[in-house]
């Protein structure tokens, strides 16, 4: 199985180049530092680095508190963060500046992986959530680099896909890997696809240990003062193609009963900002974009968040939050940020990327599941018209976050002895 994967990785190499070219047509950032995706690059470390991989923005945000702790505890060690997406790269730079080194992770081809390891010579590899890359993991095993899957999860859909390649993933998971699973269900699924039981731990979800910026609430109030004085505001966050249609239809229904309601619409991917703006224009919906620095007028129906790194501020400005990626089979995005801010939360039926969080919030009556535009409009309207209900839901969300903190401390307990294995070199 591994030999087949090795051969396949070389066969697919030309297609990788074509994918980069294609993605760069809509987002030129994919053409920047492209050599890093093949293991080359100017950045390197003389001392053995702590290496953290976070695919994109969501994983970077989940890792941010851990990164801060590692920088404080090990200030003498270089810390390298890799991402796949340019938006993830931008978030790393915004959060940590030159305190860390950012690089794009190499594609999972043997030569590219070896060159990456030569550049940074990691003493510890921490992969956020679930990224099962056989060549990369094999290189960790060959170089005896401790490898930790942090905040690890396997969705019900993915586990059956992995089982089809159980021979490959059993080998991948056998190289001294430590799995810090989000839940008992995730731990059981990892064991089922070949993870060693003695190195599979239930740590919890470090997303519950999020730290909100101290000035966040003030920024949210400032936004409302400028754009939505005395107007009810709801947000549709991290939406995907197919969801904006439902959201816009829901808002059309909402303004029939609440004419002054304002929707903050924030698409998940920046390459779709223009497409959503075009959609609003075609439907003759009055809107203002964040990038234009324009100000909402009383007739403005939609504020389009077409910038990066401001989602939490938009949450802080809202009364109700719909979390996207859940009305289409993407699996849902992080609902803990609006929960920590005390917002009532709505999601669609597809929440398999964070099923435990969705269940906790729904059981606590902090979140509600909707199926379509009609249900979305009904729930938003009900919440906007009932401040007491919003307050109860918001308090339930805050309490759920508070009750589940502590995963970060348990994760750091796993990392400390692995870092102590290496001399200070």
Q: Give the bridge partners for 50, in sequence order.
A: 79, 124
**Which has the closest alpha carbon to 117: 90, 94, 143, 99?**
143
Q: Tokens 């009305």 identify what position?
A: 327
In the chain, the largest separation of any two C-alpha atoms, in whole Å, equals: 67
Residue 59 falls in the annotated catalytic set: yes
E-strand ranges in 54-156 read 79-83, 101-104, 124-128, 147-152
Spatial strand order of the sheet with 147-152 comes to: 101-104, 79-83, 50-53, 124-128, 147-152, 177-181, 200-202
Between the CA of residue 175 and those of 4, 140, 196, what are the distances in Å?
A: 19, 7, 10
> In angstroms, rounded to a whole number, what is the distance separating the alpha carbons of residues 386 and 107?
51
Please, what sign has the CA dihedral across residues 25, 26, 31, 32? positive
- Could you give the residue ranges of the DSSP H alpha helices within 165-261? 166-172, 184-192, 216-227, 243-257
> In angstroms, rounded to a whole number, what is the distance separating the alpha carbons of residues 384 and 386?
6
Radius of gyration, alpha carbons of the chain: 22
Please, what sign has the CA dihedral across residues 116, 119, 122, 126? negative
| DSSP labels, 11-38 | HTHHHHHHHHHHHHHH-GGGGTTGGGGG
* CB neighbour list of residue 37: distance below 8 Å, 6 or more residues apart: 16, 20, 104, 105, 106, 107, 112
Q: Which of 32, 35, 36, 59 is catalytic?
A: 59
* CB neighbour list of residue 205: distance below 8 Å, 6 or more residues apart: 151, 182, 183, 354, 356, 357, 404, 407
> In angstroms, rounded to a whole number, what is the distance separating the alpha carbons of residues 231 and 308?
25
Residue 62 phi/psi, 5-degree rounding, is -65, -35
Residues annotated as part of the active site: 59
């Amino acid at each position: 199985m591994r030999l087949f994967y090795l051969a396949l990785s070389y066969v697919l190499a030309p297609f990788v180049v074509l994918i980069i070219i294609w993605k760069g047509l809509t987002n030129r950032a994919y053409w920047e530092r492209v050599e890093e995706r093949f293991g080359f690059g100017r950045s390197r470390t003389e001392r053995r680095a702590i290496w953290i991989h976070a695919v994109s923005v969501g994983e970077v945000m989940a890792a941010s508190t851990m990164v801060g702790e590692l920088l404080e505890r090990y200030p003498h060690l270089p810390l390298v963060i890799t991402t796949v997406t340019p938006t993830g790269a931008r978030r790393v730079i915004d959060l940590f500046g030159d305190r860390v080194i950012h690089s794009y992770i190499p594609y999972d081809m043997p030569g590219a992986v070896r060159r990456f390891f030569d550049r940074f010579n990691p003493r510890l590899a921490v992969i956020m959530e679930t990224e099962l890359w056989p060549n990369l993991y094999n290189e960790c095993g060959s170089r005896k680099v401790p490898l930790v899957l942090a905040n690890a999860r396997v969705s019900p859909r993915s586990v059956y896909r992995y089982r089809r390649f159980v021979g490959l993933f059993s080998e991948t998971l056998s190289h001294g890997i430590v799995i810090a699973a989000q839940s008992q269900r995730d731990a059981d699924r990892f064991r089922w696809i070949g993870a060693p039981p003695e190195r599979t731990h239930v740590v919890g979800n470090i997303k519950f240990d999020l730290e909100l910026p101290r000035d966040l609430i003030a920024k949210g109030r400032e936004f409302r003062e400028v754009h939505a004085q005395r107007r009810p505001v709801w947000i549709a966050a991290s939406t995907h193609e197919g969801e904006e249609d439902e959201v816009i239809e829901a808002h059309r229904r909402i303004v029939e009963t609440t004419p002054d309601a304002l929707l903050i619409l924030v698409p998940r991917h920046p390459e779709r900002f223009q497409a959503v703006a075009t959609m609003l224009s075609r439907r003759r919906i009055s809107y203002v974009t964040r990038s234009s620095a324009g100000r909402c007028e009383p007739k403005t129906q939609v504020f389009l968040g077409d910038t990066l790194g401001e989602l939490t501020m938009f949450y802080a400005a809202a009364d109700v939050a719909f979390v996207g990626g859940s009305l289409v089979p993407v699996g849902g995005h992080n609902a803990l940020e609006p929960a920590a801010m005390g917002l009532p939360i709505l999601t669609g039926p597809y929440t398999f990327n964070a099923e435990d969080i969705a269940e906790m919030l729904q059981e606590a009556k902090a979140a509600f599941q909707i199926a379509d535009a009609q249900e979305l409009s009904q729930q938003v309207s009900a919440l906007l018209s009932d401040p007491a209900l919003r307050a109860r839901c918001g308090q339930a969300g805050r309490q759920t976050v508070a009750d589940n903190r502590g995963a970060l401390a348990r994760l750091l307990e796993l990392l400390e002895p692995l870092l102590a294995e290496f001399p200070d070199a």
